[in-house]
Structure 1
Amino acid sequence: MVQDTGHRAASVTPATPARVLLPSIVPAAAVGVLSALVLVGVSAAAEELQDVLWGPLPDALGIGRYSALWMVVMLVGTGVAVGLVVWRMPGHAGPDPATVGLDAPVLPPVVLPGLLLATALMLAGGPSLGPENPIITVNVALAAWLGARALPRVPGRIWPALAEAATIGALFGTPVAAALVISEALARQEIRGLLWDNVFAPLTAGAAGALTATLIDHPSFDLDLPPFGRPGWGDLLAAVVIASAGALLGMAAVRAFPYAHKAFAALRHPMLMLPAGGLVLGGLAALGGHLTLFKGLDEIAELAHDPDGRSAGEYALLTVVKLAALLVAASCGFRGGRIFPAVFVGTALGLCAHALVSGVHPSVGVSAAVLGILLAITRQGWISLFVAAVLVASPGTIALLCVASLPAWLLVTGRPQMQLREDGTPVR
């Protein structure tokens, strides 16, 4: 009996001493602040350019700011501008974005100016992508390059983890999202030690990034939808059905992704691929309206401002057009991420469900649809739950979302992802 107890005690994972963790605080915090400044700087520059391109410029030309003509001109022009950057700048603005996920490669510093410029032009010009993937890639490269010079004895694999956590924390304004993503990544690896010992430094970086972004930019994801009280059986049924429908809709785009990518890749040159993608995006914008442009964060707030202000058909059109725009923008070579436009798709789908069935509470419909769409597009379970929950800021939806995530996950797990290998085949 004594031997058995000793065996169990010996098998307990030892905790890392505080003296080992303490030296990581300063470099982790530095990475967090730097990563947030890069994100806020690129976003602010893109917003300034967007204000000019979609305001004084069309006004001076006597063209409607969001007329079909101007949307087509701007999106084709953005394709030309980004195509020039990809074609001519050193490093060609990084690898094919269809092959990159949130787990970014470490690129040489010479690539970063082109990637930053291509990202800022994309954000300002209107394609339906967000800043997350390219900014994570830039921050990972900067952290690895600067860290290797400032602290050469620190293992190089530490810096990408810190930069990813810091950027995710800055994107969502809270280190909770970073901690969830890190814990999910650690679960896929054989990592020794206690979970909180392993996430200590990345969580520090995420907290520093979130605080820096919050103090400078004040990010907010709460859509201010009508308050949701205690959930009932009808709410549970609605959440399960809508989340599953969102997962299936997202998987339709995932299945089409390699074919769309192959079609644009057949053009063989960025000065053909990106303008062609811009032309298709311009046609989609003319069909769906200006709300289907850009990364979608400001646009979902406009959608949610009046949940009953549109018909189910109008919400359905916005859903399909935005999803198609996401698919095209991600396939033709624009540098950007897929989380934010996917959130718009889920928001429109959830409000469509509310418009079809008045008994579906807007908060339940939006959060469940966003959950399903994100599970299909990102294959990140924790981040999907987190984003879906913070959009409605209602504790009553959390239990519903946890239950609804189970059938939605069964629909997407083990199937192709919205990320390709170098040979064009989908990652599973």
Structure 2
Amino acid sequence: MTGTSAASPPEAPLTVGRLALLSIPALLIGVLSALSLWALEALAGLLEDTLWTNTPGALGIQPDNPWWIFTVLTFTGVAVGLVVWLAPGHGGPDSATTELEPHPLKLSVLPGLAIVLMLGLAGGVSLGPENPIIAINVSLAVAFVARIAKAVPPALVGALAIAATIGALFGTPVAAALVFTGVVSQFRAKGSLWDKLFLPLVAAGAGSITTHFVGGGLQTMQLGAPYGSPQPLDLLLGAVVACLAAAFALVGVYLFPLVHRAFRALRHPMLYIVAGGIVLGLLGMLGGPITLFKGLEQSAELLSHPDDYSPGELTVILLVKLAALVVAASAGFRGGRIFPAVFIGVAAGMLGGALLPALPFGLAVACGVLGVVLAVARDGWIALFVAVAVVGDVTVLPILCLIVLPGWLTVTWAREMLITPDDLARERGFDPAGSVR
């Protein structure tokens, strides 16, 4: 989450008049970005009902039947592979190579990208909507504003669409503000931090409010009584859970380029995406329905019945979901990695809480989420925000602000969960300098 190409407005004085005037397109972009996310997720939900409720019901099959899981994920791979192969723009850029701050795409690419996103969400692929929907909203916003307000810089429009979509995804502008705190330091416009954050916050606020009106956002759960005052033992045990969760996620991070290279050795998208669907189907058979989809509803299911899962079962869930995330992200499916990472973090925190009963359960879950999201997203602000939001207890924030420090030391030396141009060069038989190996 370090790229800033779409989020770096050109130099311009941030006067009161300019901020007030630009608030109008910021509000509009916020509302439309949230509605775009809602529409795509609603359509994906209808398709999900067809695949996982209506069709197996008509056939007299239980939707959690292992062979039905395998069938749906395999045919999801076939459908996504066909779109990536034949649609204009080939389903957009490979999500394995993109972050949350994309370049605008040609409008002709967006229908294919939207279709593969909906197919993945509905088919149970272990990816979230964040990367594709941000790319769609940035591209639509830049094209739309360019037609009606040419004076608004496209880079600023892209930044507002990113902020708006993040606000809509998480249901609060706080997440966008945390992401943009680092990004706006690179803005060339003169002004204070809050001057630079003003317009992204307007867009994110409009997006999050619209999301609340239509229904959506990150689900939170109150896990018993509030945590309360930090305790020294909790600091030690929480740091252990967070660091081990981060280290576990880093296994997937380091396997990511190897698995990506293995799938791309098949060359044709129909081959490597269908192969990915088959592998995801096998993993789904092993892990069951709880390990499918982007993971938000499944996280709530885990936290609603924590006593139903033994440490052994949580270990299987962790291994299967991490493998499913790496395979889905490597095999050409389009989607983001943060929401599945949240699920992995919840399961890791529950396992940590089961093995370390002296650690309060809510704090254990927050520490698991913190560690995994740190490793996958490589953003301490987002990790802190999501960890607090998932457990629905702001009293864990002070101790998490300390636990994040050893967690960050665990991940900062490691590679990011991103396929870089150097990785792509190696896949094609070139070294990073461009010579044939």
Q: TM over 0.5, yes or no?
A: yes
1:31-55: per-residue Cα shift (whole Å, max 9, x none)? 0011000100000111111011001
Question: What's the CA shift for 1:378?
Answer: 0.6
Return the alpha-carbon distance in structure 2 between the equivalents of residues 129 and 329 of structure 1. 7
Structure 1 gaps of 5+ residues are 1-13
Q: What amino acid does structure 1 have at the position aligned with 2:41?
A: S
1:175-230: per-residue Cα shift (whole Å, max 9, x none)? 11111111122235666421111111111000000000111114342123122233
Instruction: Give the structure 1 partner of residue 322 of structure 2.
Output: 323
| Residues 391-400 or 189-198, more deviating | 189-198
Q: Is the 8 A contact 2:371 2:407 kept in 1?
A: yes
1:108-132: per-residue Cα shift (whole Å, max 9, x none)? 1000000001000100000100001
Instruction: Give the structure 1 partner of residue 408 of structure 2.
Output: 409
Instruction: Give the structure 2 partner of residue 307 of structure 1.
Output: 306
Return the alpha-carbon distance in structure 2 between the equivalents of residues 144 and 303 of structure 1. 40
Question: What's the CA shift for 1:357?
Answer: 2.1
Instruction: Give the structure 2 partner of residue 130 of structure 1.
Output: 128
Return the alpha-carbon distance in structure 2 between the equivalents of residues 390 and 182 of structure 1. 18
Instruction: Give the structure 1 partner of residue 144 of structure 2.
Output: 146
Question: What's the CA shift for 1:415?
Answer: 2.4
1:119 to 114, 117, 120: 117
Q: Is the 8 A contact 1:238 1:364 kept in 2?
A: no
Instruction: Give the structure 2 partner of residue 29 of structure 1.
Output: 27
1:60 partnered with 2:46: no
The 5 Å alignment of 1:227-306 reads 227=225, 228-306=227-305
Return the alpha-carbon distance in structure 1 between the equivalents of residues 69 and 186 of structure 2. 43
Instruction: Give the structure 1 partner of residue 434 of structure 2.
Output: none
Instruction: Give the structure 2 partner of residue 93 of structure 1.
Output: 91
Return the alpha-carbon distance in structure 2 between the equivalents of residues 256 and 129 of structure 1. 17
1:343-380: per-residue Cα shift (whole Å, max 9, x none)? 00000010011112222222111111111101110111
SS of residue in 1 equivalent to 2:154: coil
Q: Is the 8 A contact 2:218 2:296 kept in 1?
A: no
Structure 2 gaps of 5+ residues are 1-11, 426-437
The 5 Å alignment of 1:161-200 reads 161-187=159-185, 192-200=190-198
1:289-324: per-residue Cα shift (whole Å, max 9, x none)? 110000011011110012222111111111111111
Instruction: Give the structure 1 partner of residue 209 of structure 2.
Output: 211
Q: What amino acid does structure 1 have at the position aligned with 2:77?
A: G
Q: Is the 8 A contact 1:351 1:365 kept in 2?
A: yes
1:17-67: per-residue Cα shift (whole Å, max 9, x none)? 311211011100000011000100000111111011001201222222111
| Residues 382-391 or 223-232, more deviating | 223-232
Cα gap change, 1:137/1:218 in structure 2, threshold over 3 Å: closer, same or farther?
closer
Return the alpha-carbon distance in structure 2 between the equivalents of residues 182 and 40 of structure 1. 23
Instruction: Give the structure 2 partner of residue 337 of structure 1.
Output: 336
SS of residue in 2 equivalent to 1:308: helix
Between the aligned residues of both structures, percent identity stands at: 48
Q: What amino acid does structure 2 have at the position aligned with 1:105?
A: H
Q: Is the 8 A contact 1:307 1:362 kept in 2?
A: no
Instruction: Give the structure 1 partner of residue 101 of structure 2.
Output: 103
Question: What's the CA shift for 1:260?
Answer: 0.4
Question: What's the CA shift for 1:423?
Answer: 4.3
Instruction: Give the structure 2 partner of residue 6 of structure 1.
Output: none
Return the alpha-carbon distance in structure 1 between the equivalents of residues 56 and 14 of structure 2. 60
1:39 to 37, 40, 45: 37
SS of residue in 2 equivalent to 1:424: helix
Return the alpha-carbon distance in structure 1 between the equivalents of residues 216 and 255 of structure 2. 36
Q: Is the 8 A contact 2:237 2:356 kept in 1?
A: no
Q: Is the 8 A contact 2:106 2:139 kept in 1?
A: yes
TM-score by length of 1: 0.94
Cα gap change, 1:377/1:71 in structure 2, threshold over 3 Å: closer, same or farther?
same
Q: What amino acid does structure 2 have at the position aligned with 1:107?
A: L
Instruction: Give the structure 2 partner of residue 354 of structure 1.
Output: 353
Question: What's the CA shift for 1:233?
Answer: 1.5
Q: Is the 8 A contact 1:315 1:352 kept in 2?
A: yes
Q: What amino acid does structure 2 have at the position aligned with 1:275?
A: V
SS of residue in 2 equivalent to 1:55: helix
Q: What amino acid does structure 2 have at the position aligned with 1:73?
A: T
Task: Tell me the C-alpha RMSD between the 2 structures.
Answer: 1.5
Q: What amino acid does structure 2 have at the position aligned with 1:384?
A: A
Return the alpha-carbon distance in structure 1 between the equivalents of residues 60 and 73 of structure 2. 18
TM-score by length of 2: 0.92
Q: Is the 8 A contact 1:243 1:373 kept in 2?
A: yes
Q: Is the 8 A contact 1:260 1:327 kept in 2?
A: yes
SS of residue in 2 equivalent to 1:113: helix
1:418 partnered with 2:413: no
SS of residue in 1 equivalent to 2:35: helix
Q: Is the 8 A contact 1:31 1:162 kept in 2?
A: yes
Return the alpha-carbon distance in structure 1 between the equivalents of residues 313 and 266 of structure 2. 34
1:74 to 72, 78, 83: 72
Q: Is the 8 A contact 1:129 1:330 kept in 2?
A: yes
Question: What's the CA shift for 1:232?
Answer: 1.4
